Amino acid sequence: MTGGSFLEKLGSLLFELSSHDRLSILRELGNDALSVTKLSKKLDLTTQETSRQVFRLKEAGLLRRDNRGIYRLTSYAEVVLKQLGGLDFLSRHKEYFKSHSLVHLPEKLVLRLGDIAEATYLSSISQSLYSVERLIKEAESYIWLVNDQISFSVFCELGRALERGTKNRVIQTKGFTYPSDIVRDYFQYYERNILPIDRRSRATGALEDRLDDRAEIFLFISEKQAAVAFPLNSGKFDYLVFSGSDKRFHNWCSEAFNYCWTKAQPLEIVTEKPCEWIMDNPEALSGLERIIAGQKLTLRKNLASELEKLQLTRSGSITRLGYLVRSRLDEHRSPEANTVQSS
């Protein structure tokens, strides 16, 4: 097919779909086969105008008529309407997608954006946070998530979910940096209240962790619900989610998670080499301990540089990978060492 004939056929299809009345007829017939008379009543059109538009759609190969005068979609029209779902979703959320990017998602998921159409867009952080927390609280079987960072309240809910028996899969970014002004209190709470749960859950296989260089998507899924946010054009997130329990939406989110899961690396693989290096450089481990205790990193320049190179620190602050490396090493130390020291 030449470029000209391709554009001509596509243009012809788009022209037929450009009419509000014709598009409404297709959507009505997507729900049920109807006569012209019933269509005209449903759409509040004259019988003459409905008949004219139906004739055009039939000529375009989108409708077929049986011997009783009842119109139905052709299989071609059914596929066209499914493809339109993605465009409809994008057009309804045009302002959102002007500032958000799908560039890192696989094409097959982008082409199926219509599967997200029934999800509810939550336009405030508080709504989004509530939606995610409710998803976690109501989960009974499993929770899958992809994130660059999560709020402290969500973090605590995930620990409670593991305690009541969910099986969790978690994908996080290696380079997230813990704010220096809260790091000491944060890790004290974590190591006292959450870390024992995480360790028990990893040992039984109820918790599986993987790490990636960046989060392609912000995603939470349980057996009942899903919530997803796309990155801004800058690559960061504003955490404004699309949330819902519709089956197509849930399946789309599950496929997006599986894509991210296969791309990310298991925790034990990512931490293996940094752990070996730290064991050969105990001074560097002491440096990580100082940061976790809320103190300033003081190391010889070559060690500080190597910590940055291994992505264990960034600008003197500890990264998620840095903490996970320290935590893995800490598992082999005495129980007294499992509480963050204040000095």
Q: Where are the domains of the chain?
A: 3-85, 93-175+213-263, 268-338
Please state the length of the chain: 343
Instruction: Tell me what the pLDDT averaged over the chain comes to.
Output: 91
pLDDT in tens, 75-110: 999 988 888 888 889 999 999 999 999 999 999 999
* Amino acid 343: pLDDT: 33
The pLDDT assigned to 333 comes to 65
Give the pLDDT score at 339: 44
Q: What is the topology classification, in CATH, of domain 93-175+213-263?
A: Endonuclease; Chain A (3.30.870)
> Tell me: the pLDDT tens digits for 140-195?
999 999 999 988 889 899 999 999 999 999 999 999 999 888 899 999 999 999 99
Helix (H, G, I), strand (E, B) or coil at 337: helix
Q: What is the mean pLDDT of residues 121-148?
A: 96
pLDDT at 342: 36
Share of the chain above pLDDT 90, in %: 78
pLDDT at position 171 = 97
DSSP designation for 60: T
Q: For residue 295, what are the contacts with CB-CB under 8 A and spacing of at least 6? A: 343
Q: What is the pLDDT of residues 18-69, one digit of tens each?
A: 899 999 999 999 999 999 999 999 999 999 999 999 999 999 999 999 999 9
Per residue in 269-310, pLDDT (tens digit) is: 999 999 999 999 999 999 999 999 988 888 888 999 999 999
State the fold for domain 3-85. Arc Repressor Mutant, subunit A (1.10.10)
Please give the Cα distance from 141 to 164 (Å, whole number): 10
Cβ-count burial 316-333 (b if 16+ within 10 Å, e if not): bebbbbbbbbbbbbbeee
The stretch 107-115 carries a mean pLDDT of: 92
d(Cα 114, Cα 92) in Å, to the nearest integer?
A: 11
Say if residues 131 and 158 touch (Cβ distance below 8 Å): no
Residue 221 CB neighbour total at 10 angstroms: 22
Query: Where residue 340 falls among pLDDT bands split at 50, 70, 90?
Result: very low
Q: What is the pLDDT of residue 3?
A: 53
Where does the pLDDT of residue 228 fall: very low under 50, low under 70, confident under 90, or very high at 90 and above? very high
